[in-house]
């Protein structure tokens, strides 16, 4: 099982959008679990799944009092399951803080489903708290969306520094997100960043209404607009991540 964390210190850069689309792309060939670690629950919303009522919420999961398999939902897509967040995820940092080996809890929980999935995608909340430490610790790759702005390099540096502090051996795969080529700054970022920064891939996801439509379609972009440039970009991004983490194919579930 390979773990891919979609993460940035910055909010609103396209993490959840990337996580949902990567999971959908990955599910074409692998058994995929998408874990929403953000109490806003956007991932579940976009894939039309509601959290299951699990006694004790996420703290029972972390304490080992409830099984992760009980909280997992299937989606309408083959090979794609979701572990949705509920309101109890608001306290996740505190819950981890009180646990032993507090940065290794996500890895420990995922060990329960090691044989059930080939790929796990983690949709992380922004920030640099324990949830992120856990995600990076468990990850084989960390996917970082970068929106061209004077602050984007800063967030790239922050994520690099954050990963360097972790014992994790995860590889970073950054990509340009929400790119508007009418803006000079954005065009410059597309030209310069992938050429000068080793961790920044050539994948460019444009800012388009087709991506925005995910909120009303409540579906991955590839399912309703497969020819859109953004859908192709997420396909390319998954191809790159797949090459980076090399998941093994288990038996397909369906
Ligand atoms: N390429 C794009 N083009 C247009 N809109 C986009 C694009 N990517 C994301 N968005 C929109 O931007 C908003 C923020 O995206 P998203 O929720 O994926 O960011 P996030 O990094 O997960 O945010 P948060 O930090 O709050 O979790 C959403 O409304 C989403 O639909
Ligand atoms: Mg999000």
Domain that holds residue 7: 2-245
Closest atom of ligand 1 relative to the 177 alpha carbon: 1
Task: Report how far ligand 2's centroid is from the alpha carbon of 11 (Å).
Answer: 7
Let me know if residue 103 belongs to a domain: yes
Let me know if residue 39 belongs to a domain: yes
Nearest residue to 177 (alpha-carbon basis) of 213, 154, 152: 152
Beta bridge pairs of residue 45: none
Task: Report how far ligand 1's centroid is from the alpha carbon of 13 (Å).
Answer: 6
Let me know if residue 253 belongs to a domain: no
What is the tally of structural domains in the chain? 1
pLDDT at position 128 = 75
**Neighbouring residues of the ion ligand 2, judged by CB less than 5 Å:** 15-16
Nearest residue to 189 (alpha-carbon basis) of 210, 203, 208: 203
Q: Secondary structure of the chain: what % helix, strand, coil (to 5)?
A: 45, 15, 40
Let me know if residue 116 belongs to a domain: yes
Let me know if residue 140 belongs to a domain: yes
> Cα–Cα distances in Å, from 156 out to 43, 66, 148, 185?
23, 36, 11, 17
Task: Report how far ligand 2's centroid is from the alpha carbon of 85 (Å).
Answer: 11
Q: In this structure, what CATH number is given to the domain that contains residue 99?
A: 3.40.50.300
Q: How far apart are CA 136 and CA 168, in angstroms?
A: 6
Let me know if residue 188 belongs to a domain: yes
Let me know if residue 172 belongs to a domain: yes
> Cα–Cα distances in Å, from 211 out to 38, 205, 229?
20, 9, 10
pLDDT at position 230 = 98
254 residues of the chain, pLDDT tens digit each: 999 999 999 999 999 999 999 999 999 999 999 999 999 999 999 999 998 888 899 999 999 999 999 999 999 999 999 999 999 999 999 999 998 889 999 999 999 999 999 999 999 999 878 999 999 999 999 999 999 988 877 889 999 998 998 888 899 999 999 999 999 999 999 999 999 999 999 999 999 999 999 999 999 999 999 999 999 999 999 999 999 999 998 755 44
| Ligand 1 residue neighbourhood (C-beta within 6 Å) | 11-17, 38, 42, 125-126, 178, 205, 207-208, 211-212, 214-215, 230
Let me know if residue 63 belongs to a domain: yes
H or E, element range at 92: helix 92-98
């Amino acid at each position: 099982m390979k773990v891919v964390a979609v993460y940035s210190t910055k909010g609103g850069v396209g993490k959840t959008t990337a996580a949902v689309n990567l999971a959908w792309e990955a599910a074409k060939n692998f058994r995929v679990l998408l874990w929403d670690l953000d109490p806003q629950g956007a991932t579940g919303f976009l894939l039309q799944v509601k959290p299951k009522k699990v006694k004790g919420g996420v703290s029972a999961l972390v304490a080992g009092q409830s099984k992760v398999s009980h909280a997992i939902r299937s989606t309408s897509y083959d090979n794609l399951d979701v572990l949705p967040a509920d309101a109890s995820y608001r306290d996740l940092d505190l819950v981890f803080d009180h646990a032993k080996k507090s940065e290794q809890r996500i890895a420990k929980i995922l060990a329960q489903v090691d044989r059930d999935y080939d790929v796990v995608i983690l949709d992380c909340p922004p920030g640099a708290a324990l949830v992120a430490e856990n995600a990076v610790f468990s990850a084989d790759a960390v996917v970082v969306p970068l929106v061209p702005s004077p602050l984007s390099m800063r967030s790239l540096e922050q994520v690099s520094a954050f990963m360097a502090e972790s014992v994790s051996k995860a590889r970073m795969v950054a990509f340009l997100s929400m790119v508007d080529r009418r803006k000079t700054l954005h065009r410059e970022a597309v030209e310069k960043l992938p050429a000068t920064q080793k961790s920044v891939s050539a994948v460019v996801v444009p800012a388009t209404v087709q991506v925005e439509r995910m909120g009303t379609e409540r579906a991955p972009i590839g399912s309703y607009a497969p020819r859109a440039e953004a859908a192709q970009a997420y396909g390319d991004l998954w191809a790159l991540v797949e090459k980076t983490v090399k998941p093994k194919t288990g038996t397909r579930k369906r």
